[in-house]
Structure 1
Amino acid sequence: MEQMTDTRLADQLCFSIYNTNRLFAKFYQKALEPYQLTYTQYIVLLALWEQNCKTLSDLAKELDLASNTLTPLLKRLETAGWLTRCRAENDQRQLTIQLTEKGKEQKSAIEKRLEKCMNEQVAINDEQYYRMLKDNQRLMEGLKDYLESTQETFE
């Protein structure tokens, strides 16, 4: 069994995840092409499918995106008819984001397309998918915990 400290590039988990991330971006670009959506636009829709009608600040926090990154993205989604942005009546400073009928209706078709692409083109079944997701979530939590515990050291 190889050691985690092996310095060969091909044996580095971080490099493997980096390359996987790049390939995922290309995968989603191709899979979402019929809907003219980018991956980042798709994750906005995912967040709204979980809970429609969110504030800009809540959405930015959930997606871990700066509002200056999110705002142009939301404008493009609004122009394409996926969502609406409106000011809250009780607080004009608060921007609320919600799905349009198109945004709601396309959920099922997009999910089916992505599942088909993942299962048939990438050849990953549901069990493998959820095992990898669980492993990745455990890794993310470990990295977050480490960075939070050593925050003073890195600043």
Structure 2
Amino acid sequence: MEKFATLDNQLCFAVYEAASEFNKLYTKALHPFGLTYPQYLVLLALWEKDDVTLKGLGERLNLGTGTLTPMIRRMEEKGWLKKVRSKEDERRVYISLEPKAWEEKPAITEQISRDIQSCQIELEEYDQLMTQLNTLRKKIKERQG
């Protein structure tokens, strides 16, 4: 148990520090597009499946409406996406991409790809890390019930 008594031996701290470095990397890469890292995640989710409910988007990103709603508003103001309230159910709000988001997708994804490659993470290593992190996340989630 002594191994877990120091900060440098804490897996949670290593994950936290890596996440912090990724945030810095993505912040720099996304700055020319006027996007934040969380806004980029919204775009990624919508590029995969466009015209989804705000609730569905929040579930996909694991974000509550209190966090997501102001972010969506700012992205709408900047022309990235639009909100449309359902005519059948006023409580349901659909989020869809504007043409700007589709037009900028190649440039954004290319910039991110370049910045990730500049970290000298090989494709095989990338795949291994994804597998390990997804396994870790599942184990922790299962533990929490």
Shift in Å at residue 24 of structure 1?
1.2
- SS of 1:106's equivalent in the other structure is helix
Structure 2: 5+ residue runs without aligned partners? none
Change (3 A) 1:4 1:101: farther
Aligned partners of 1:76, 1:105: CA distance in 2, in Å? Answer: 19
Correspondence for 1:44:
42
Superposition pairs for residues 53-132 of structure 1, below 5 Å? 53-120=51-118, 122-132=119-129
**Percentage identity across paired residues of the two chains:** 37
Q: Could you say which structure has the greater relative contact order, defined with CA pairs below 8 angstroms and 6 or more residues apart?
A: 2
TM-score for the superposition, normalised by structure 2? 0.95
Is the counterpart of residue 135 in structure 1 residue 132 in structure 2? yes
4+ residue segments displaced more than 2 Å? 3-8
Shift in Å at residue 108 of structure 1?
1.4
Number of equivalences: 145
Shift in Å at residue 34 of structure 1?
0.8
User: What CA RMSD, in Å, does the superposition of the two structures yield over aligned residues?
Assistant: 1.4
Counterpart of 1:17 in structure 2: which amino acid? V
Structure 1: 5+ residue runs without aligned partners? 149-155
